[in-house]
């Protein structure tokens, strides 16, 4: 690859965010030299290929945040993309189920939040809930009809096809080892040789902090990987739900709780919980990376975070070790589930950005220099929001002067 060529745009990361950025740069800059580099042998190997497959409608997010805005636009954009590429999706709706008086009270706050985010949830009584979902019980529920399901790996692969169709290149098994920014271009050292580009976009997901530091950007955050463990409902139970079923979350906790998700292939997934991952990209329960674990444990921000959330951390760990404890969470609203219904399923690992003060960064976060843009934090629902995020990135980098200084 060291042929002396200088790309106009080089994107690091073959997940849905990197591919969306490259796709939209290719669309807006016909004839520009564009490439995506990905260290794995296949695209969508990490977060994009290990998520819940939900097209989130934007229930929980801080009104006006980038997360809320990108998500609202992302629903329509994702559906339009699926239609254009004949990819499966379904707007099956989501039910947020209250199972006790406290959750009923919290439902009011959640309903108000939905409305602030432009959604029109429908409030269901206990009877109306059971009419719609005979396997689900609760004191009441909020129905968000806009929520749907899709296959984000398939969407990412279709984005790659669009990039190639517009003359862009995709280089797999090309790990980035070093980044040097100069006034006129950025040199990216890879496992396949050096590449030069006028503009670099980095969408490295679970490695975002390392890539930023590699590029000389001062980082006041670290990626702390959280493992989300799932089970799959035994096929013998059939399709016990028509909607996605979520608990009413505790606003003091960082994650939304164990839910029942219909997947686009017809299966039903239960989960996830959230426990500290001992490897950023190791999906087996016993996988451990001393480098990754050491980076987490040496980071003062992690200990500040742990100090704040140690109680829920212990609960999550107990649920990770005990299938029965995990089952109880889902039985709160789906009482017919039994231990035999929970079959093993692949885990996912979330790139949680933790700031130096121990706070969790929950909105999108970019860092920019003259010739680089790093997407440092693209948290859930970044799969839903990938197309608006790509448009935002393409707006920012496309406006720059590409000519050598
Ligand atoms: C368990 C779980 C469930 C989720 N559920 C949902 C959901 O239902 N709906 C939703 O909208 N969102 C969901 N999300 C969030 C969503 O999946 C992610 O926010 C999104 O996939 C992020 O995409 P990405 O491209 O930023 O990261 P990734 O998909 O992780 O891609 C980053 C890529 O960068 C590559 N890379 C890293 N370092 C290098 C290097 N040095 N050289 C070359 N390449 C490199 C990696 O190999 C990887 O392929 C979920 C996430 C998880 C973990």
Q: What is the DSSP string of 199-266?
A: EEEE--GGGHHHHHHHTT---SEEEEEEEE--EEE-GGG----SSEEEEPPPTTSSS---EEEE-TTS
Question: Is residue 123 domain-shared with residue 244, that is, in the same domain?
Answer: yes
CATH number at 26 reads 3.50.50.60
pLDDT for res 358? 95
Mean pLDDT of 337-358: 94
Question: Is residue 40 domain-shared with residue 129, that is, in the same domain?
Answer: no
Please check the confidence at residue 32 and state whether its pLDDT lies above 90: yes
Alpha carbon separation from 300 to 207, 223, 360 (Å, rounded) = 18, 12, 13
Mean pLDDT of 312-341: 84
Confidence at 401, pLDDT banded by 50, 70, 90: low
Confidence at 251, pLDDT banded by 50, 70, 90: confident
3-state SS assignment for residue 154: helix
Q: What is the DSSP string of 264-305?
A: TTS-EEEE---EE-SSSS--STT---HHHHHHHHT-HHHHHH
Question: Is residue 288 domain-shared with residue 326, that is, in the same domain?
Answer: yes
Question: Is residue 318 domain-shared with residue 291, that is, in the same domain?
Answer: yes
Question: Is residue 266 domain-shared with residue 391, that is, in the same domain?
Answer: no
Q: How far apart are CA 183 and CA 214, in angstroms?
A: 17
Percent of the chain with pLDDT over 70: 97
247 touches ligand 1 (CB under 6 Å) = no
The 10s digit of each residue's pLDDT in 158-167 is 999 999 999 9
Question: Is residue 246 domain-shared with residue 140, that is, in the same domain?
Answer: yes
Q: What is the CA radius of gyration of the chain?
A: 21
The residue contributing the CA closest to ligand 1 atom 14 is: 380
Asked, for residue 342, whether it belongs to a domain, the answer is yes
Burial-class residue 261 by CB neighbours within 10 Å (0-12, 13-18, 19+).
buried
Residue 45 host element (H or E): none
Asked, for residue 75, whether it belongs to a domain, the answer is no
Asked, for residue 171, whether it belongs to a domain, the answer is yes
Question: Is residue 195 domain-shared with residue 125, that is, in the same domain?
Answer: no
What domain range includes position 327? 91-147+223-355
Please check the confidence at residue 365 and state whether its pLDDT lies above 90: yes
56 touches ligand 1 (CB under 6 Å) = yes
How does strand 122-125 pair with strand 259-262? unpaired
Decide: 199 and 371 in contact? Cβ < 8 Å.
yes
pLDDT for res 310? 76
77 CA to centre of ligand 1 in angstroms: 18
Question: Is residue 231 domain-shared with residue 321, that is, in the same domain?
Answer: yes
Better-scored residue on pLDDT, 314 or 26: 26
Confidence at 3, pLDDT banded by 50, 70, 90: low
Centre a 10 Å sphere on the Cβ of residue 67 and count the other Cβ atoms it contains: 24
CA within 13 Å, CB half, 242: 9
Alpha carbon separation from 313 to 289, 294, 307, 319 (Å, rounded) = 21, 19, 10, 10
46 CA to centre of ligand 1 in angstroms: 5
Question: Is residue 302 domain-shared with residue 351, that is, in the same domain?
Answer: yes
Probe ligand 1: pick from 46, 163, 384, max atoms within 8 Å of CB?
46
Could you give the dihedral angle defined by the CA atoms of residues 47, 51, 56 and 61, in that order, rounded to the nearest 10 degrees?
Answer: -60
CATH number at 281 reads 3.30.9.10
Round the average pLDDT of the chain to a whole number and report it: 94
Alpha helix locations (H) across 88-137? 101-116, 126-132
Asked, for residue 63, whether it belongs to a domain, the answer is no
Please check the confidence at residue 404 and state whether its pLDDT lies above 70: no
Question: Is residue 227 domain-shared with residue 323, that is, in the same domain?
Answer: yes
Q: How far apart are CA 47 and CA 52, in angstroms?
A: 10
Mean pLDDT of 136-157: 98
Mean pLDDT of 13-24: 98
**pTM across the whole model:** 0.96
Asked, for residue 69, whether it belongs to a domain, the answer is no
Question: Is residue 167 domain-shared with residue 40, that is, in the same domain?
Answer: yes
The residue contributing the CA closest to ligand 1 atom 4 is: 51
Residue with tokens 């968000």: 144
195 touches ligand 1 (CB under 6 Å) = no
Alpha carbon separation from 141 to 63, 158, 241 (Å, rounded) = 22, 36, 14
Question: Is residue 106 domain-shared with residue 208, that is, in the same domain?
Answer: no
The 10s digit of each residue's pLDDT in 168-227 is 999 999 999 999 999 999 999 999 999 999 999 999 999 999 999 999 999 999 999 999
The 10s digit of each residue's pLDDT in 67-126 is 999 999 999 999 999 999 999 999 999 999 999 999 999 999 999 999 999 999 999 999
């Amino acid at each position: 690859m060291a042929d002396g060529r200088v790309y106009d745009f080089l994107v690091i990361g073959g997940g849905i965010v990197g591919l969306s950025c490259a796709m939209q740069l290719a669309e807006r800059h016909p004839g520009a030299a564009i490439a995506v580099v990905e260290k794995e042998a296949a695209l969508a190997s990490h977060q994009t290929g290990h998520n819940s497959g939900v097209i989130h409608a934007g229930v929980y997010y801080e009104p006006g945040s980038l997360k809320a805005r990108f998500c609202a636009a992302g629903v329509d954009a994702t559906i339009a993309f699926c239609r254009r590429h004949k990819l499966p999706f379904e707007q099956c709706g989501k039910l947020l189920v209250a199972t006790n008086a406290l959750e009923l009270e919290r439902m009011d706050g959640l309903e108000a939040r939905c409305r602030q985010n432009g959604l029109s949830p429908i409030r269901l009584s206990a009877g109306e809930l059971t009419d719609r979902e005979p396997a689900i019980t609760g004191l009441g529920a909020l129905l968000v009809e806009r929520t749907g399901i899709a296959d984000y790996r398939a969407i990412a692969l279709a984005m790659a096809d669009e990039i190639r169709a517009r003359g862009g290149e995709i280089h797999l098994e090309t790990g980035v080892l070093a980044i040097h920014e100069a006034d006129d271009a950025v040199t990216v050292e890879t496992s396949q040789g050096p590449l030069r580009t006028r503009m670099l976009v980095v969408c490295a997901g679970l490695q975002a902090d390392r890539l930023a530091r590699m590029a000389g950007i001062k980082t006041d955050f670290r990626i702390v990987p959280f493992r989300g463990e799932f089970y799959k409902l035994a096929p013998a139970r059939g399709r016990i739900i028509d909607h996605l079923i979520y608990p009413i979350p505790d606003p003091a906790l960082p994650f939304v709780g164990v839910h029942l998700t219909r997947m686009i292939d017809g299966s039903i997934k239960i989960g996830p919980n959230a426990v500290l991952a001992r490897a950023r990209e190791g999906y087996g329960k016993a996988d451990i990376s001393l480098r990754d674990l050491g980076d987490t444990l040496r980071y003062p921000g992690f200990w500040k975070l742990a100090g704040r959330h140690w109680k829920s951390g212990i609960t999550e760990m107990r649920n990770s070790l005990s299938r029965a404890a995990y089952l109880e969470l889902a039985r709160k609203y789906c009482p017919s589930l039994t231990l035999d219904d929970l079959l093993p399923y692949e885990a996912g690992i979330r790139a949680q950005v933790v700031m130096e003060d121990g706070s969790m960064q929950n909105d999108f976060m970019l860092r920019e220099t003259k010739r680089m843009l790093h997407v440092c934090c693209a948290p859930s629902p970044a799969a839903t929001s990938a197309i608006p995020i790509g448009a935002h990135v393409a707006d920012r980098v496309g406006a720059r002067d590409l000519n050598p200084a």
